[in-house]
Structure 1
Amino acid sequence: MRKALIAAVVGVACLIVVIAVTVSGVIPRTTDGQAVASAPTRAQQQLDDATTAMADAPGVSYEGELSVGGQTMQVQDLAVTAAGDVHGKVAVDGRGAEVVQIAGGTYVKADAAFWDSYNAGGDASVRHDSSGAAGNWALVPPGFFGIDFGQALRPSTYGLGADDQDQRIDQSDNTIPVSTADQTPDRRGFSTADPQGLQVGPTEDDGQTIVAGENPVRLNPDGSLYGIAGPLRSAPADRPTTTKLKVTLLTNDGVKSFYSTVQGYSDPLSKVPAPTVDVPKPTGNLDNCTNTFCILVYDFTNSMPGADRGTVTVRQTSSLTVNGAAAGTCARTVTMPMNGKEQSTCSFRFPDPRTRTINYHADSNFDIAATAEKDVTVIVQSAEKGRDVATRQPGRWYPGGFKVAPQARSFNQQITGVPSGFAYMVNDVPFDGRAADGTLLMTAAPGYGEHLVAGGGFDPAWAGTQQLVDQAEKAARAADDQPVRWVFAEQNAADAMTKLLADNRIDGIDVATVPAAG
């Protein structure tokens, strides 16, 4: 039964949950007088133990199904490390591909049928040459499959997201504050009430299912994670994503083996076709036309994430009609640098139509071929750094109390990828998260800008100002040689924080600004 992930993890409607409720006002106690945690509290503790263990893992291997914007795909042996690097197999409509994400690039290796299927149904006037990609590695955008695997399925992002915590928060009078930064917009709190939104299935020989919010989570008999299903909260709103995935936590040795395999691809990945390079179809310019002469101008641009350099070649064929009559053809080949731009010009001469008004019309087709390049040393060094980030983690995840303000919870999720109810503890100091490159993250939601004085600094009379200093001092000491980034939603607040750090001679913290989404 445990082997049937869909039946065990996904069957929410069929899950029979038996909850015994005793209305007595008397807290159950053991024979020695100690209070017994309620069933929802015990279930929450089980979830926390399982999901934080996954979040702390250096990597995870996935097998199962994802549905992205209505498109279903299967994944097999899809390994994602704590550094967000990826290697495994993906199949869409029965057509399989091998996937690697490393050094900022996403690479796919698939056969001709896969690429023919991908290219079918596009704009017939803009054709991408994928012949060189068939059977070889090719560079594609990170969202090629509708989802950035390395971002969405990092152990901490997917594991802690399974708790669906921010959707289950009880902010009644039972909330008690966490003393750290309790005067700031990012204050945290704990609920003393029973956890909300949990359905606890019966304990069976092969494990137990706990539904957290909308996410069924299947646990092994030893309490470890077996599988996760439900909506992926970190997915873009325009591409709703659900998952049905079996998870296998990787050891440090397993992750080192992963990086050894990926490093072996460094040579073939260093120069690859880029069949999905984005070359927006140009509108064309026919402004320079007379009664016998016309110039057609196209301005081309292109973009391809993950390419350090390369070339994009556009073969253009154009035809001009004047008052509906054919007036000539033109063929041009334009080569531009990857992530660059170029212009093409076609000249047409034709007999004077001798009419009061002249209508010009151009039709063009574009055949695009691209090659992307990245230094072998860059790929090798990225793999080495990813291995170190994944296998040498300085802290551990733990339930740290949720951020009370909705906008603080939202911003925390936006920057760290995890719900605000978890924190990353390093040397007894909590951070809001840890980035894929190992940077320790602190977030500052909208609202700090309300506590500034003339000159741009934080108001010394505001209790939050001293709390920010205390936070910064503790974070800098705890991080030691780990990089720290404090991300503010407001530029004026970030500037004030930079000044506050300088005034208090606190080093080692990079202050950045990222506007709050939405």
Structure 2
Amino acid sequence: MFVLSVVVLVAALVVSLIPFATDGSAGPTSAFRAQQELDAVAFELGGSPGARYSGTLTTTGAGGPPRKVEFTDLTVASTKNAEGDITYDTSTAQYRQIGNYRYLKGPAQLWTDLFDGAPILRQLDLKVTENRWTNLRYSGLPDLGYLLSPALLAGRIGNAERIRAPSAGPELPAPNQGLPDARFWPTSDPEITAIDDDTIRVGTLATTFDPQTKQVTHIEGEFASSGTQVDIDADVTLLGADDLTAMFTDERSLLPDLTSVPAPAVPLASDAVTARGVGACTPASCPFLITATGTLDAEVAEDMRGVTGHVNYGLTTTFTVDDAAPGAVGGTCTRVVSAPFGGRTQTTCAATRLPAGTRVVRPNTAIEYLPFIDTTEADLASYLDSQEQSSELPITMERTGAKKGDAARYNDQVVGFPSSYVVRQGDYLFDGVGPEGNLIVSFAPGYAEHVTAGRFDPAWPGTALLTEQLTKQVAAAGDRDVTYVAAEPATAAALRALVVAEGIAPGKVGVFATPLTAD
């Protein structure tokens, strides 16, 4: 998922975009005044390079147990970088996050608690994780950098569209008129309540702020994120760029320790280790070939494509010989091997000292394993540099009209903002900004029906508009890259063809297909 992570300079053109009451009064309704106030607060939060949090955050996914994390003075940048100590269950550990990479250093018991009695615990070699940096991928521990990124959290506290979609009035003339992502002037009151002069509630999420500075001081309540329910109760202190220098310096000092780290929650295929007989069996020796692979579970294989890593195995093989009890005859064979992700390694084990007349020998291999995710210090340093540079980029947020239906939901999914929030860069309104400062445009369901033979139908008026938009986006982006995220694979293919046809420099506009999901 792409997310916002930038310093935001707020130029909130809110007043001119808020519809006034239709009951004959001279001003906006109380709900729209609350929206106006909340926009100022949200944009102040989103405009902060970082924030410091003290409190709790609990996530509850479909069918999974609640995951509650406590933290004090946890520093989080809008780039999703984070630093601080957290407590999960009974264990306290150091938490570090470099953009999409999350790390933990603490007692092995914390990992035991995360697996919550899962059968796989019998095979994982968790003692290796004791007070060692580990990768949190697939762990279920809340992604604190993503959930507490000030820029993303700004979108969540101001997202009244999730509570009730606004009634749509006239379609706005730019930039998406006539397209599935068209925006419309709202004509109904937002579901927002001003509890006091310093607290505004959207749904169950209450935001407390300083009425003078508009800086958030506390957030409490619930919101949904990527199919997960999030419950937050935290004090908030906004931070400037200088306040983040120590965090980036500390993360840079850790890079040598992060090049090969255990990733206990990366799941393996059920048949990652197999054994078969090779050669003839004699009373002296009955050999078996054991194959240990780095094959990942099918559910994560696509997501892990391009990720480098390996699996360390400790293999203990005993044998069942005829009707004897397992392990009673044939001896014991132990091996320590390693297999790269997607690769394999092989070793042999032999049953020995078999009774004369032995008919059947079956191997029984007990597995202890631990996956590792590998990268280079140079790659991590380059990524961290881009994160730090992105944290200093000025971006202007504005309020505009809202998209409808799936278009609004997809906009929220892709950039983490309500569709009525946009990012102005030059003369163009983008849907959002990614971790490296890339400007994001989302393409909701509905474009694919206008694709013929891998290209947008030239007879469709939208084709000319998309072509014009592409030119304007590239010009407005300047040194930044543009990222297209499309809900339909056919749309993504047609967008790639359009980028090539218009002669855009390779890499300037990236195109990705990500389906619309329920939230």
CA distance in 2, matches of 1:515, 1:308: 22
- Report the equivalent of 1:147: 142
CA distance in 1, matches of 2:375, 2:494: 39
Output the amino acid matched with 2:171. Answer: P
- Report the equivalent of 1:193: 188
Residue 330 of structure 1: how far off its partner (Å): 2.9
Task: Please say if residues 89 and 113 of structure 2, whose CA atoms lie closer than 8 Å, have aligned partners that are also in contact.
Answer: no
Partner-residue secondary structure (3-state), 2:388: helix
Aligned: 1:474 with 2:472 = yes
CA distance in 2, matches of 1:440, 1:456: 25
Output the amino acid matched with 1:513. Answer: A
Task: Please say if residues 294 and 340 of structure 2, whose CA atoms lie closer than 8 Å, have aligned partners that are also in contact.
Answer: no
Aligned: 1:348 with 2:362 = no
19, 24, 27: which is aligned to 1:26?
A: 24
Decide whether aligned partners of structure 1 residues 362 and 189 sit closer, same or farther in structure 2, where only a CA change above 3 A counts: farther
Task: Please say if residues 429 and 475 of structure 1, whose CA atoms lie closer than 8 Å, have aligned partners that are also in contact.
Answer: yes
Q: Which moved more, 1:71-80 or 1:43-52?
A: 71-80
Residue 112 of structure 1: how far off its partner (Å): 5.2
Decide whether aligned partners of structure 1 residues 191 and 352 sit closer, same or farther in structure 2, where only a CA change above 3 A counts: farther
- Report the equivalent of 2:379: 378
207, 218, 239: which is aligned to 1:217?
A: 207
Partner-residue secondary structure (3-state), 1:128: coil
Task: Please say if residues 291 and 344 of structure 2, whose CA atoms lie closer than 8 Å, have aligned partners that are also in contact.
Answer: no
Decide whether aligned partners of structure 1 residues 95 and 302 sit closer, same or farther in structure 2, where only a CA change above 3 A counts: farther
Task: Please say if residues 189 and 401 of structure 1, whose CA atoms lie closer than 8 Å, have aligned partners that are also in contact.
Answer: yes
Residue 426 of structure 1: how far off its partner (Å): 0.8
Instruction: Choose between structure 1 and 2 for higher RCO, CA contacts under 8 A separated by at least 6 residues.
Output: 2
Output the amino acid matched with 2:495. Answer: M
Output the amino acid matched with 1:217. Answer: T
Decide whether aligned partners of structure 1 residues 383 and 284 sit closer, same or farther in structure 2, where only a CA change above 3 A counts: closer
Alignment of 1:210-249 (within 5 A): 210-222=200-212, 223-235=214-226, 237=227, 239-249=228-238
Alignment of 1:449-488 (within 5 A): 449-453=448-452, 455-488=453-486
- Report the equivalent of 2:402: 402
Decide whether aligned partners of structure 1 residues 97 and 381 sit closer, same or farther in structure 2, where only a CA change above 3 A counts: same
CA distance in 1, matches of 2:364, 2:192: 60
TM-superposition CA deviations, 1:374-419 (whole Å, max 9, x none):
43333333322211101123x2222222211x22122222322322
Alignment of 1:132-143 (within 5 A): 132-136=128-132, 138-143=133-138
Output the amino acid matched with 1:342. Answer: T
Task: Please say if residues 58 and 142 of structure 2, whose CA atoms lie closer than 8 Å, have aligned partners that are also in contact.
Answer: no
TM-superposition CA deviations, 1:223-251 (whole Å, max 9, x none):
3212223333224x3x4332222222221
Task: Please say if residues 99 and 109 of structure 1, whose CA atoms lie closer than 8 Å, have aligned partners that are also in contact.
Answer: yes
- Report the equivalent of 1:337: 340
- Give the number of equivalent residue pairs: 474
Residue 54 of structure 1: how far off its partner (Å): 1.5
Alignment of 1:361-372 (within 5 A): 363-369=364-370
Decide whether aligned partners of structure 1 residues 121 and 63 sit closer, same or farther in structure 2, where only a CA change above 3 A counts: same
- Report the equivalent of 1:168: 163
TM-superposition CA deviations, 1:469-490 (whole Å, max 9, x none):
2221221111111100122222
Q: What is the RMSD of the two structures over their aligned residues, measured on CA atoms?
A: 3.3
Q: Which moved more, 1:466-475 or 1:266-275?
A: 266-275
Decide whether aligned partners of structure 1 residues 135 and 284 sit closer, same or farther in structure 2, where only a CA change above 3 A counts: closer
Aligned: 1:259 with 2:255 = no
Mind listing any 5+ residue stretches in structure 2 that lack a counterpart? 1-20, 61-65
CA distance in 2, matches of 1:492, 1:306: 21
Decide whether aligned partners of structure 1 residues 445 and 477 sit closer, same or farther in structure 2, where only a CA change above 3 A counts: same
- Report the equivalent of 1:8: none
Residue 325 of structure 1: how far off its partner (Å): 2.1
Decide whether aligned partners of structure 1 residues 503 and 214 sit closer, same or farther in structure 2, where only a CA change above 3 A counts: same
Residue 72 of structure 1: how far off its partner (Å): 1.8
TM-superposition CA deviations, 1:317-374 (whole Å, max 9, x none):
123325552353432222223664334443436558788xx7x765432223566554
Task: Please say if residues 272 and 293 of structure 2, whose CA atoms lie closer than 8 Å, have aligned partners that are also in contact.
Answer: no
- Report the equivalent of 2:510: 510
CA distance in 2, matches of 1:492, 1:247: 43
Partner-residue secondary structure (3-state), 1:233: strand
Give TM-score, length-normalised by structure 1. 0.81
Q: Which moved more, 1:332-341 or 1:242-251?
A: 332-341
Partner-residue secondary structure (3-state), 1:243: strand
Aligned: 1:182 with 2:177 = yes
Task: Please say if residues 135 and 373 of structure 2, whose CA atoms lie closer than 8 Å, have aligned partners that are also in contact.
Answer: no
- Report the equivalent of 2:5: none
Residue 423 of structure 1: how far off its partner (Å): 1.0
- Report the equivalent of 2:412: 413
Output the amino acid matched with 1:128. Answer: L
Output the amino acid matched with 1:139. Answer: T
- Report the equivalent of 2:32: 41
Decide whether aligned partners of structure 1 residues 248 and 343 sit closer, same or farther in structure 2, where only a CA change above 3 A counts: farther
- Report the equivalent of 2:430: 431
Aligned: 1:493 with 2:488 = no
Partner-residue secondary structure (3-state), 2:181: coil
CA distance in 2, matches of 1:46, 1:280: 52
- Report the equivalent of 2:98: 102
CA distance in 2, matches of 1:85, 1:339: 29
Give TM-score, length-normalised by structure 2. 0.80
Residue 300 of structure 1: how far off its partner (Å): 2.7
Residue 505 of structure 1: how far off its partner (Å): 4.4
Aligned: 1:58 with 2:49 = yes
TM-superposition CA deviations, 1:102-124 (whole Å, max 9, x none):
27532212135545655773437
Aligned: 1:301 with 2:294 = yes
Task: Please say if residues 86 and 92 of structure 2, whose CA atoms lie closer than 8 Å, have aligned partners that are also in contact.
Answer: yes
- Report the equivalent of 1:129: 125
Task: Please say if residues 62 and 77 of structure 1, whose CA atoms lie closer than 8 Å, have aligned partners that are also in contact.
Answer: yes
- Report the equivalent of 2:6: none
CA distance in 1, matches of 2:511, 2:45: 29
Partner-residue secondary structure (3-state), 1:47: helix
Task: Please say if residues 209 and 215 of structure 2, whose CA atoms lie closer than 8 Å, have aligned partners that are also in contact.
Answer: yes
Output the amino acid matched with 1:384. Answer: D
Partner-residue secondary structure (3-state), 1:249: strand
Decide whether aligned partners of structure 1 residues 480 and 332 sit closer, same or farther in structure 2, where only a CA change above 3 A counts: same
CA distance in 2, matches of 1:38, 1:418: 23
Residue 435 of structure 1: how far off its partner (Å): 0.8
Partner-residue secondary structure (3-state), 2:407: helix
- Report the equivalent of 1:388: 389
Mind listing any 5+ residue stretches in structure 1 that lack a counterpart? 1-22, 28-34
CA distance in 2, matches of 1:266, 1:385: 15
